[in-house]
Amino acid sequence: MHPTVLFVAVVAITAAVVHGRRPADGSPAARFWEEVLPGTPMPEALAELVQKGIDHSPLAENFSGPYLSIGMCLGHVYVSVCSVERVKKAGTGLFFHEEQVRVGSTLTVSFSAAGVPAILPHDVAEKVPFGNITARDVATRFNIAPGSTMAAQVGDTLRACQARAGGERHACAASLEDMVRAAMRTLGTAGQVWVAASAVPRAGLPLQPYAVEAVAPLDGDHHVACHDEPYPYAVFRCHKIGLSMTKAYAVSLRGLRGGPEVTMAVICHLDTSDWNPAYPAFEMLHTKPGNSSVCHFMPYANLLFGVKAASTMASF
């Protein structure tokens, strides 16, 4: 592929998607983003959720119920709350091997509609207890029926966020500002940070084969991924898996049955030797821990962080 085309693909992802925009010019979230990540447009999906939190606070409205989140299934230590069935409900082709990340290959993919709720403004999030709250407290505050699917999801999220997860560094956040800070702390590396997001529509992607039109590697060999977790308002869990090396890519997909081309952020875990054998990716890819890499797309409004190499800083 011509280097210029690759460069466009890289910018579309490392600049947090070429279709990025600002939420409410002058809002604290927009100012924070521009200060910490100068020159990086906020991803469209993230900007919409931030704006929704400004216009319609989930704390002032009735909670609409459970939604499908795949975030917890993208952390291999939480096998107890994840299953092949749960992954399949979220879409097809979420997991794949690094060897498939090449121009000319075909991936059969689908994504269900995303249900990520609004992101709270930072000043509101600070007033809402999260770190030490119980699932019962959350259920009472948001009128969630005991024993319901959403009640179980809230409990899973709180346990994941409050636990000391062996084999990975992680932190949870309930505002954009806290998510970015948590990602940078978890990344734990000095340097200029880049952020990537998939340009997948909120309505999802239809099931069909997609041709890989372009692949651009993203800087770094250790990355932090921030995934949404089921909760009445947006909560993101940012994690880095131990000392295992990772690779990140911008991958441009074209549906072979029509539809617009979509640019996806991809992370590949290169060493899975110490992963739980029950992790759904192994069954879905017909492999075992340590036998091969495990890659996955970043879902809607999920972010991937890395550190720019000195040789590429001037390019962005």
The amino acid present at 280, given as its one-letter code, is P
Q: What does each of the 316 residues of the chain score in pLDDT, given as a tens digit? A: 322 222 233 334 344 333 455 555 678 999 999 999 988 899 999 999 999 999 887 776 656 566 667 777 887 666 667 788 888 888 889 999 999 999 999 999 999 888 899 999 999 998 886 777 888 898 888 888 888 888 888 898 898 888 776 667 888 999 999 999 999 988 876 678 899 999 999 999 999 999 999 999 999 888 999 999 989 999 999 988 666 789 999 999 999 999 889 999 999 999 988 888 988 999 999 999 999 999 999 999 999 999 887 544 333 3
Q: Which residues contact 19 (CB under 8 A, 6 or more apart)?
A: 41, 44, 199
The answer to pTM > 0.85 is: yes
Beta-ladder partners of 114: none
pLDDT of residue 5: 26
| CB contact at 8 A, 164 and 179 | no
pLDDT of residue 249: 97
Beta-ladder partners of 265: 250
Distance CA(226)–CA(298), nearest Å, equals 9
Distance CA(313)–CA(316), nearest Å, equals 6
| CB contact at 8 A, 42 and 20 | yes
pLDDT of residue 26: 75
